[in-house]
Amino acid sequence: MNDEPRDPKSKEFSEWMGDQRRRLGIDRAVAAYTAAKEAALKRLPEMEEMRKEVRRIKEESISRMGELARQAMDSIADVKGTPYLAGDAAEARRIFCSIVGTGKLVVKSKSLTSEEIHLNGALEAAGNDVYETDLGEFIIQLRKEKPTHIINPSVHVPREEVAQTFSKLLGREVSSDIPSLVGVAREFLRDKFCKADVGITGANVVSAKTGTLFIIENEGNARFVSNAPPVHIAITGIEKVVPTLSDAFKVVQTLPPYATGVLISAYVSLVTGPSKTADIEKTIVYGAHGPKELHVVLLDNGRSEMAKDPILREALYCLRCGGCLYECPVYRIVGGSFGDNYFGGIGMVWSAFTRGDEAVAVAIDACTKCGRCKEVCPLEIDVPKMVERLKGKLVRKGHLSRKHAEIRENIERKGNPFGQSERRQ
């Protein structure tokens, strides 16, 4: 058994716990999110039925995940897109680097899957300039930090610190007034969209039948990224593929109220193949006003393995609304140190399959299995049950926390968890 001390993150946990600045950012965001979500759900009584229907769609989709991914690839090829199936992160990075090449200006919209494969580092190492264009991601990129929430990556950065970061970028004093801060990002990024050689987005859901990518956002940056540059590359996990357009629309309706507390997001882009026109003599030409090339990378990276586990496969239903994180009492205190790329209890399952057991062996003990995440999850995903299952698997593989290892050793050697030599009478 490996009972070496393995809590390198405990220092990070304590740093977060004592960091009032980060807590302030999270507390402000949770208060705003909770009020907005409650108001949105009051106005959407039909969401009770809709979320159950989406759960049914996800159950069916995951049970047919490989077949639907292949169907989506055929459909994407039919509309002159170029599909790829990447088995793991390294293969996905190779695909991206071969499409992008070197010396390019790349703009990106928020994509958790691109972060899963550490895409930015690979593209930069290949000699490209990469700009995140989602405001939260842009802030994180400038600060050389890692995202700490799946929907709101800079949730831990209060406005005063955003002002400092932007002041440094522009070389002049920037006000901490939030609309002014948004204006700075808009001004700085505007010409990047038009000059970029390549735009990279994720996709929230994909229709297998038509090969249509759905990109949901509020800022409008993903529209620029997917439309202005001559090449658009999208990356998404194979679990995002659902059978039909109508199934995809149901996912699109369900996500926004739970993710950001809006009835529907400001923008939902549907991309089915590259831009084209047949306006002159009905001759089709690709690359009219939008991209001439569309590449779609479907990523496995542990998802097929996850689907084989009767309990952990439920993690593949996750819509990535992030609502469970705001409700998680541990996340509210230790924030971005409770996971890496994927956070909280659901993030532990995702990290175990996409990054390996070592990535979660320490952090998983932070989950109290209180069950508040399951209560707020639109799909009622049983996160505590999955965490219990994952912990069991980790322990069987020898991944015990130092304290638990001590307790086990005490029981084995002394017959009690406290290591006492004699029983007290």
Name the DSSP letter for residue 387. H
Among 252, 312, 346, 366, binds ligand SF4 (CB under 6 A): 346
Query: At closest approach, how far in Å is the CB of 133 from ligand SF4?
Result: 23
Instruction: Establish if 381 lies at the interface with ligand SF4 (CB under 6 A).
Output: yes
> Residue from 89, 318, 348, 359 that binds ligand SF4 (CB under 6 A)?
318
Residue 225 or 386 having the CB closest to ligand SF4: 386
How is residue 259 written in tokens?
């993710």
Element (H, E) at 252: helix 245-260
Nearer CB in complex with ligand SF4: 23/58: 58
Q: Residue 246: how many CA atoms within 13 Å on its side-chain side? A: 1
Distance CA 102, CA 123 (A): 8
Q: Which stretch binds ligand SF4 (CB under 6 A): 124-132, 167-175, 184-192, 317-325?
A: 317-325
> What three-state secondary structure class fits 74?
helix
Task: Decide if residue 379 touches ligand SF4 (CB under 6 A).
Answer: yes
Residues 404 and 410: their CA atoms lie apart, in Å, by 10
Helix, strand, coil distribution of the chain in percent, nearest 5: 55, 15, 35
Other Cβ atoms closer than 10 A to 30? 17
Say whether residue 321 binds ligand SF4 (CB under 6 A): yes
Q: Least distance (Å) from ligand SF4 to the CB of residue 321? A: 4
Cα–Cα distance, 58 to 318 (Å, whole number) = 9
Measured from the CB atom, is 174 or 379 closer to ligand SF4? 379
**How far apart are CB 17 and ligand SF4 at their closest, in Å?**
23
324 binds ligand SF4 (CB under 6 A): yes
Q: Indicate whether 319 belongs to the interface with ligand SF4 (CB under 6 A).
A: yes
Structural contact between residues 192 and 133, judged by C-beta atoms closer than 8 angstroms? yes
Does 320 sit near ligand SF4 (CB under 6 A)?
yes
Of all helices (H) and strands (E), which one includes residue 28? helix 20-42
Q: Is 377 in the site for ligand SF4 (CB under 6 A)?
A: yes
CB of 324 to ligand SF4, least distance (A): 3
Q: Given the rule CB under 6 A, which residues bind ligand SF4?
A: 318-324, 346, 373, 376-379, 381, 383
